[in-house]
Structure 1
């Protein structure tokens, strides 16, 4: 699923969108994105990397 996400990000730069017609593929991509939401947000620069370390408390 990471590959599909990367391709979609590259296509976003060109103003294009992937449309999946297979319901299984759409569902798997949606579940993968939910599972990896924090990493995707970091990759897209939505919040800084410094605050995501392990706390000492």
Structure 2
């Protein structure tokens, strides 16, 4: 359950960054692109946690 909540929160933060920082420029990394990466990683984390939960219940 902890992995699902963490993944969803990470995805929400990533989407917020992705949508709100398109015009901001930083010298190291684009916050727009970092938000997209966070959203993808958070979604994958939540998905893998759900798959693990399903495997535990099927045993």
TM-score bracket for the superposition, by shorter chain length: 0.3 to 0.5
Q: TM-score scaled to structure 1, two decimals?
A: 0.37
| Bigger relative CO (Cα 8 Å, ≥ 6 apart) | 2
Q: TM-score scaled to structure 2, two decimals?
A: 0.36
More helix by share: 2
